[in-house]
Structure 1
Amino acid sequence: MSLRLRIALSAALLVAATALGIGYWVAAAIGDRLRNNIGSELAETAYQMSDKLDREMASRTGEVELLTSLEALQRNDVAEAQRLVDTLHNTIPAFSWIGLLDPAGVVIAASEGILLGEDISHRPVFIEGSKGIFIGDVHDAVLLASLLPNPSGEPMKFVDIAISLPKKDDRGPRVLAAHLSWTWAEEVRRSILREAYSHRGISLYVASAGGDVLLSRGNDLLGHNLRLKAMQRAKNGEEVGWTVEQWPDGQTYLTGFARADGHLNYPGLGWVVLTREPAEMAFAPIEEFWQLTALVSTGLVISIAVLGWFALGGVTNRLAHIADVAREIRAGQQVDMPLYDSPREVADLSHALRNLVVELTHSEQALDRMSAVARQDRLTGLPNRLGMVSFFDVAVARAKREGLSIIAFYIDLDGFKAVNDTMGHGAGDEALKEVAARLKSCSRGGELAVRLGGDEFLMLIFADAADWEKTASQVARRVLARLAEPYVLSEGQAQMAGSIGIARYPYDGDTLETLLAKSDKALYAAKRGGKNRAVFAASEKVVMLGSHSTRK
């Protein structure tokens, strides 16, 4: 074998080993990180859906519970009870039917008079509702299937809510029963997918605790029992996560899951939200990156083989040096690939390898930017829950180092649903973007405003431990004032406000989860107290616009 051929073949093999080794190492690292980001993003969507389901059920349960406390129902005023159930039915369309049952299970007041005078003592709403508070899982309509309008023609499904009233005599308690239409869950599913994944083939499902599909895309898998690893992990106590597994249709999907554990007075029904995307589509960016790495490496090997044919014997020392540096780079050392000006072939090789290292470095930097996107809310540009978790760890370190308190403001918009209903989702999106801008204007550098999902936001600020409550009150008034300013939207002017729950780290909660739970509970108190106000978690102080802080 000639020396020229030996040099050419040696150079080609050396470059092939170097390029493929570096390419494989970088591509594997980037692929793992990208895979985890894609899975976490799908799991976050499942969590948003589960959170919305829990909060909606808690709100509806609270409304029925509030109705039972009214004096008209307590004193058994049937005429006034009829007026109240009609009012609630007309105000909240999600209630398909509301009725008051006497101790024998006979309907004595009902929305639109449906089932009035009927004996439904054999139904679970009466049997279980007589014992206290009953929340029944999703089921097909039985008595009401032929009595209620059904424009879609699809089978009607309800969630039951029943609460017993105090006894007036020895005959037993009366029961206030309601059938909550399951169509609201479909509206939530569509809004989640429209906002996050309008351009991707992602599906979202809700399954019962036993694995039966309660909500799906059209009739796809509706009523099927899912025996998936994701379902089992949720049953075993894992709240949010993702996996890759085969579904009943035989295809493999990236699957995100989140367990709906209830909210406030609603204990939850064990629902599991599942999001899925065909694995081939979900991980397409990783496959494209592998193909690009192989293509660049192959092209480089061919180019160097041709150059090596023309190389001189003295080129081998410089090639050996390049190989040594390549091994150092593969070992993780921060060194630059050497550049040579001559011979021309070696110069081209050294420049090509340096460009390869630079391109791979840029790819990793691009991944970092993708990670940042995964931590950002698409609509408002604010950080999302993933971004909040990353920020909180840094914030805790700073608070301990500088002796500061971290104040959490859990914010929920008052009046946002009216903007969506009257002006449309486009105007609602405009309003959310304006809210994000106003919240950012109320925070300082190094502090954080987050969109948690829907019309819920969170602010994390720093305050001196000595006067944190004064600082928190000032910021709360500033936020309430900014949220109450008119919103000039493309569809006209709108008016909204906000309610705030305030909690302090580490005194109200020494972890992010407990801090959020305390501030969320305070937010609920602010809502119950009249909205457009802020409530402190520990002291229950109330902050309102144009007034001093007061005790509840």
Structure 2
Amino acid sequence: MIKSFTMRLGLILALSIATLVFLLTIALTSLISHRASDSLEQEIGERLSTTSHQLADKLDFYMWSRYQEVQLLQGLDLEEPDETRRLLDQVQSNIPAFSWIGVTDADGTVVASTNGILEGASIAERPVYLEAQDAPFIGDVHEAVLLAELLPNPTGEPLQFVDISVPLFQDGSFQGVLATHLSWAWGKEVLGHFNRTLHEQVDDTDLFVVSERDNVVLLGPDDMVGKPLPVSFTEGATVKKWEDGQDYLTGMSIGEGYDEYPGLGWRVVVRQPAAVAFAPVETLETRILWIGLFASLVTAVLGWLLASIVTRPLKRITETASLMEQGKANKFPHQSGIEEIESLAFALESLVTSLTESESERVHFEKLANRDALTGLSNRVALREQLNRLYDSEETHVFFYLDLDGFKAVNDTYGHAVGDALLVEISQRLRTLTIDELYPVRLSGDEFFLMFPRRECSVEEIHQIGKSVIDTLSQPVTIDTTFISVGASIGASIWSPPEPPHVAIEQADDALYRSKANGKQQLSFHELFE
């Protein structure tokens, strides 16, 4: 009877210890799996958002290039139509994207054009003339009207154009309009290039370019072009249900123009079926679960086999494991004299160490995602998190939107390697600024953002801080024995809760443009605070 009772008690102890170790392993495995999956889902969403932003920048840069070329032709002599026509034909030959270029007189009659098309005809009622009598005009994508039957159309598809036109003046008097029609085929080429590149990396992905004017799809899958986009989005990555009933992970960016080209507000949308996008997450979770289950099974079997002869040492191990789960211990007690117990303690410690290292790596990669790879400053992702924390603050902050003056010339003259070295030096100087609780960020290129609490600073004192920043950044830099100098322009605004921080950032950005327009190398405040 005594022997029978003893055996049952040993079995109960063995099962209890095995169950405890099993639960410990599953808890740790579940924690690591959950956090790793969240991080991977965020990374996938940011990848789609980055793709949409890159395509929006590509489209805006192309339009900026054509916009610059059109402005270069403003000096045409309207009194020499033959010479003007020859020059326009030459421009079209070198830049085939211009389907038609024409020059009108002050009444809107075409006096010279590529291949003589529409010469003598009036375009006085067309937006390309009406909207460009005082300032340059950029029109959104539209189908051809006057030129539909006059231009070559080998595909037979409806011709679509983007208009760019500028007024022509002589001695301050309006002489006419230089009007151009850009073939929308270039947009399809850009989208096709992105599609090919994207599909090499990501499966089942669709790209859309949507008009701000009427929410119509300008570029995208053939069955959706010309139709309103059926789903509304905000910038960033979200999961939405589309009209086909399927959930898609979607990234969206808005074209904001390039340099002095204001942009047409095209929205670029990238979508991928959620099941495809998050398939790596499910694979990761399954893999971690199986590893955890396997480790738990091994541990449970060892505990069951050894419980009858090592009840006391295993109890110590179990108690220590519980303390480790609570964060009150970081290693298992040393077991001596019994080789099996030593092995078990070592296996458990290795398992916990491995899981802990995985968590540390995840935290490390999160930190990398919040840092600019070149300068080490916080990036846009980190700034968004910092601004989210400001919602809980009742303290007023000063925002500086900063842009380097002359940086493009450094890149053009000395190359991008020197430009990168200069950006690193500028970032080091920003770090050393003696401004309490300064938070410096590199936004992109040579654009930076500074944020610090206002406290008792007056507007005049903020001006002095900005001047000190400009003076610091304007000091010459020596790179490979070359002395390089750049300046800095700053736009400033003041954010006070509960106003959304992004409003103050936009105000600082507007003020920066004023600094640039007023001669650079200065600080301009948002007009509400001047």
Normalised by the size of structure 1, how large is the TM-score?
0.67
Matches within 5 A, 1:202-217: 202-209=205-212, 210-216=214-220
CA distance in 1, matches of 2:57, 2:162: 17
Contact 1:213/1:226 (8 A) holds in 2: yes
Superposed CA offset, 1:354-374 (max 9, x none): 222222223234434544665
- 1:208, distance to aligned residue in structure 2 (A): 1.4
Whether contact under 8 Å (1:508, 1:518) holds in the other structure is: no
**Equivalent residue for 1:281?**
276
- After the TM superposition, which residues 278-357 of structure 1 pair with which residues of structure 2 at under 5 Å, given as runs? 278-312=273-307, 315-316=310-311, 318-331=313-326, 333=327, 335-341=329-335, 343-344=338-339, 346-357=341-352
Matched, 1:16 2:11: no
Aligned positions of 1:63-462 closer than 5 A: 63-65=69-71, 67-68=73-74, 70=75, 72-73=77-78, 77-129=80-132, 133-149=136-152, 155-165=158-168, 174-189=176-191, 198-201=200-203, 202-209=205-212, 210-216=214-220, 219=222, 221-230=224-233, 233=234, 240-263=235-258, 265-312=260-307, 315-316=310-311, 318-331=313-326, 333=327, 335-341=329-335, 343-344=338-339, 346-368=341-363, 370-371=365-366, 382=374, 387=379, 390=382, 408-409=403-404, 411-412=407-408, 435-436=416-417, 439-440=420-421, 443-444=424-425, 447=428
Task: After TM superposition, give the deviation of residue 291 of structure 1 in Å.
Answer: 1.2
Q: Which residue identity does 1:115 align to in structure 2?
A: L
Asked whether the equivalents of residues 163 and 181 of structure 2 are also in contact (C-alpha less than 8 Å), the reply is yes
What displacement does 1:35 show? Answer: 1.9
Q: How far apart are 1:100 and its partner, in Å? A: 1.8
Q: Equivalent residue for 1:236?
A: none
Question: Which whole-Å deviations, capped at 9, do the CAs of 1:173-203 have from their partners, x for residues lacking one?
Answer: 7333211222333454456567777422344
Distance 1:350 1:67 in 2: 81
Instruction: Tell me, yes or no, if the aligned pair for 2:371 and 2:382 is still in contact at 8 Å.
Output: no
User: How many equivalent residue pairs?
Assistant: 470
- Please state how far the C-alpha of 1:207 moved relative to its aligned partner: 0.9
Q: Once superposed, what is the RMSD of the aligned Cα atoms?
A: 4.9
What SS does the corresponding residue of 1:294 show, helix, strand or coil? Answer: helix
Shift of 1:435: 2.1
SS at match of 1:254: strand
- Structure 1 gaps, min length 5: 234-239, 395-404, 417-430, 484-498, 526-534, 541-552
Q: CA deviation at 1:20?
A: 1.4
Instruction: Kindly provide the amino acid, as one letter, of the partner of residue 241 in structure 1.
Output: G
Change in Cα spacing, 1:213 to 1:254, as seen in structure 2 (3 Å) is same
> Contact 1:254–1:276 at 8 Å: present in 2 too?
yes
Contact conserved, 1:141 with 1:157, CA < 8 A, in 2? yes
Shift of 1:149: 4.5
Question: How big is each residue's C-alpha offset from its partner over 1:425-472, in whole Å with a ceiling of 9 and x where there is no partner?
Answer: xxxxxx99x72466237744963999988xx566899x9976964862
State which of 4, 11, 18 in structure 2 corresponds to 1:5: 11
**1 CA distance for matches of 2:377 and 2:252?**
16
Distance 1:279 1:335, change over 3 A: farther
Alpha-carbon contact 1:42-1:275 (below 8 Å) kept = yes
CA contact (8 A) 2:166 2:179 kept: yes
Q: Partner letter of residue 38 of structure 1?
A: I
Q: CA deviation at 1:40?
A: 2.1
1:459-538 aligned within 5 A: 469=471, 472=474, 474-475=476-477, 502-503=488-489, 536-538=520-522
Does 1:27 pair with 2:53? no
Q: Which residue of 2 aligns with 1:420?
A: none
Change in 2 beyond 3 A, CA 1:503/1:465: closer
CA distance in 1, matches of 2:419, 2:411: 16
Q: Measured at CA, do residues 304 and 114 of structure 1 come closer, stay the same or move farther in structure 2, by a change above 3 Å?
A: same
2:46 is aligned to 40
Q: 1:520 offset after TM fit, Å?
A: 7.7
2: CA distance, partners of 1:384 / 1:181: 42
Paired with 2:60 and 2:268, the residues of 1 have a C-alpha distance of 11
Give the letter aligned to residue 277 of structure 1: Q
Counterpart contact for 2:101–2:179, Cα < 8 Å: yes
Contact 1:339 1:347 (C-alpha < 8 Å) held by counterparts: no
Contact kept, 8 Å, 2:37 with 2:281, in 1: the verdict is yes
Does structure 1 conserve the Cα–Cα contact (< 8 Å) formed by 2:207 and 2:270? Answer: yes
CA contact (8 A) 1:257 1:274 kept: yes
Deviation of the 1:214 alpha carbon: 1.1
Q: Which protein shows a greater Rg?
A: 2
TM-score, L = length of structure 2: 0.70
1:529 match: none
SS of aligned partner of 1:109 = strand
Q: Which letter maps to 1:258?
A: S
1:72 is paired with a residue of what secondary structure?
coil
Q: Cα 1:88–1:364, aligned 2, differ >3 Å: closer, same or farther?
A: farther
Q: CA deviation at 1:414?
A: 9.5
The 3-state SS of whatever aligns with 1:97 is strand
1:97-131 alpha-carbon deviations (Å, 9 max, x no partner): 11123455432211232222234445432344457
Deviates more, 1:129-138 or 1:368-377: 368-377
Shift of 1:271: 1.8
Q: How many Å apart are 1:258 and its aligned residue?
A: 1.1
The answer to whether the 8 Å contact 2:256/2:262 transfers is yes
Which digits, 9 at most, give the CA deviation of each residue in 1:280-311, with x for residues without a partner?
A: 33333322321122112211222123212222
- 1:48 match: secondary structure: helix
Please state whether the residue corresponding to 1:336 is helix, strand or coil: coil
Identity of aligned residues (%): 33
CA drift of 1:255 comes to 1.0
Whole-Å Cα distance in 2 between the matches of residues 254 and 480 of structure 1? 50
Work out whether residues 161 and 181 of structure 2, in 8 Å CA contact, stay in contact via their aligned partners in 1: yes
